[in-house]
């Protein structure tokens, strides 16, 4: 079951324990036990949260995969030379070398 929870979190991102239980057709205590095991192994990170959905207070445990690294940003990098400035810099480096 731990692998199915990990796979669910990989595909859906951060989720509440109730959402995990509903999606995987498990009871909430079963999910909490599996999440506790995964947390001690360092595979997931969990915290208690309180959310308000439609004016109703919902308390639960929010879980996500540990060591998540967001994808690399696209576009020019800070300090990157552009256009004519880049061409001028390379021509000067060619004469120096």
- Residues 49, 60: contact at Cβ < 8 Å? yes
pLDDT tens digit sequence for 47-61: 999 999 899 998 999
What pLDDT, on the 0 to 100 scale, is given for residue 74?
Answer: 80
Q: Which of 7-11, 30-34, 36-40, 74-78 has the lowest mean pLDDT?
A: 74-78
Number of domains in the chain: 1
Q: Tell me the torsion sign for CA atoms 74, 45, 40, 36.
A: negative
- Residues 49, 63: contact at Cβ < 8 Å? no
For residue 76, being part of any structural domain is answered with no
For residue 70, being part of any structural domain is answered with no
For residue 94, being part of any structural domain is answered with no
For residue 20, being part of any structural domain is answered with yes
For residue 87, being part of any structural domain is answered with no
Containing domain of residue 36, as a range?
Answer: 2-65
pLDDT tens digit sequence for 10-19: 999 899 999 9
pTM strictly above 0.95? no
For residue 95, being part of any structural domain is answered with no
What pLDDT, on the 0 to 100 scale, is given for residue 3?
Answer: 85
CATH of the domain at 41: 1.10.10.10
């Amino acid at each position: 079951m731990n692998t199915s929870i990990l796979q669910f979190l990989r595909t859906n991102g951060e989720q509440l324990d109730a959402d995990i239980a509903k999606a995987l057709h498990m009871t909430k205590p079963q999910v909490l036990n599996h999440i506790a095991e995964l947390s001690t192994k360092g595979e997931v990170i969990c915290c208690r949260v309180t959310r308000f959905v439609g004016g109703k207070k919902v308390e639960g445990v929010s879980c996500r995969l540990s060591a998540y690294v967001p994808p690399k940003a696209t576009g020019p990098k800070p300090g990157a030379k552009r256009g004519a400035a880049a061409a001028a810099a390379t021509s000067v480096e060619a004469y120096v070398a």
